[in-house]
Amino acid sequence: MASGIFAILDDIGALMDDVAVTTKVAARKTAGILGDDLAVNAEKATGFLSSRELPVLWAITKGSLVNKLIIVPIALLLNAFFPIAIKWALIAGGFYLAYEGVEKVIEYFFHHPKKGHEVVEEDTGDEKAAEKAKVRSAITTDFILSVEIVIIALGSVEGKDTLTQALTVSAVAIIATIGVYGIVALIVRMDDAGYGLIRHSGNKGFWAGIGTALVKALPLVIKLLGVVGTIALILVSGGIFVHNIEYFHHLLPNLWAVVKEFGIGLAAGLVTVGVVTLAKKILPGKKEPAH
């Protein structure tokens, strides 16, 4: 009896060791998309009133966890029984990300700029509706990015048994959510940390200088995240097309990958924006997706 228990524990230990190794490999392979995920979601989670930043970020984080609870089992099932569906789901998501990115570029160059950093103002009558719309947009974008993270992680454990695949992909999904939104939380509360340092140091000395730098840096960081997040959306979408459509994969082989992916993502976004704009003219009752 005792030897049987020790044998089971030994098997569990061996499985955990295997999962630890495969999780490290999967985490390395998803590092690039996690960086894009961070940039995109940090930009999406900023621009709210200070009192609403953490509640909004928590709402997006919960939505991200729900996304992964949906995506992981479906991805495992599709990978086992209908793998082609994963490719088409990624391509559809690529068009959504391209649309989001290119629409931001068009809005910046051709539409009137919004106040501040798209801050949800207290004096607007529909502030709650605007906040919910931005949260929904963030969760939708997170869904597409989460699909790619899960698919890349799943590809890194190809050939492993089902249990190892499930545990590895689940571990990567949890690490991605905690890591990305943990860093986003630090970014959006950077000014509060700065004010705290200034207050506790009596506005004198080294720590006061650090606090002042953090407070002054936040608006610049938010602007930078807006630019980086938009570029990341277009790059990720282009990467999806290049890695999942054979024609684009072999197109212009001597061109730098990042340039090719950005160009293809930009082109896909322009086409999608054009189609959506035309559809709105034909169907005027349809509302523009909220951002």
- Please check whether residue 6 lies inside any domain of the structure: no
Q: Is the pLDDT of residue 250 over 80?
A: yes
Q: Is the pLDDT of residue 272 over 90?
A: yes
- Please check whether residue 2 lies inside any domain of the structure: no
- Please check whether residue 287 lies inside any domain of the structure: no
What average pLDDT does range 262-280 have in this prediction? 92
- Please check whether residue 7 lies inside any domain of the structure: no
Domain span at 152: 12-282
Between 233 and 260, residue with greater pLDDT: 260
- With a threshold of 0.75, does the pTM exceed it? no
Residue 122: the pLDDT is: 46
- Please check whether residue 137 lies inside any domain of the structure: yes
Q: Is the pLDDT of residue 215 over 90?
A: no
- Please check whether residue 3 lies inside any domain of the structure: no
pLDDT in tens, 54-82: 888 888 899 999 999 999 999 889 888 88
- Please check whether residue 243 lies inside any domain of the structure: yes
Confidence band (pLDDT; 50, 70, 90) for 5? low
Confidence band (pLDDT; 50, 70, 90) for 265? very high
Token digits of residue 189:
């509360």
- Please check whether residue 290 lies inside any domain of the structure: no
pLDDT in tens, 134-182: 888 888 888 888 887 888 787 777 777 788 888 888 888 888 888 888 8
Look at the chain and report how many structural domains it folds into. Answer: 1
